[in-house]
Amino acid sequence: MPSPPPPPPPRRYSDFSIDRILQSKEYTCCQLNSEAIQRSYFDLTGSKEGSKYCRVERKQRTTYQAQQTRLLERAFETQQYIVGSDREVLADQLGLTESQVRIWFQNRRSKWRKELRAKNVAA
């Protein structure tokens, strides 16, 4: 009778695998709550005052002035997709970053598609 197969070797985790991170005690809420982190997420391993989750501070939402919105809307009417050089010029005119202009156009395209779908359903 053949002997049973040997047990599999212990699983090796990469340093950046989710399993390794969740097993590690290096990441605590206090360390994750640094100013360098802009995104919002939950730390499943840390505990702050007995809580299993720790909310990391989010970047404040951008509020656009009426004049900025008007110029952005006017630019969107002419072209729904803005290329790098045009985006750079528009950002300079508005006093915004290129990233803010890019995100605004992404959000506006999403709203535009939603309006198109609603119009097609009503027709």
Domain ranges for the chain: 13-60, 66-122
What is the reported pLDDT for 70? 96
Residues pairing with 42 in the sheet? 55
What is the reported pLDDT for 64? 93
Q: Which residues contact 40 (CB under 8 A, 6 or more apart)?
A: 55, 56, 57, 58
Distance CA 101, CA 109 (A): 12
Residue 2: how many CA atoms within 13 Å on its side-chain side? 3
Whether residue 75 contacts residue 46, with contact meaning beta carbons closer than 8 Å, is answered with no
User: Which tens digits make up the pLDDT trace of 42-91?
Assistant: 444 444 555 555 667 777 888 999 999 999 999 999 999 999 899 999 99
Domain 66-122: give its CATH code: 1.10.10.60
Higher pLDDT among residues 71 and 7, named by residue: 71
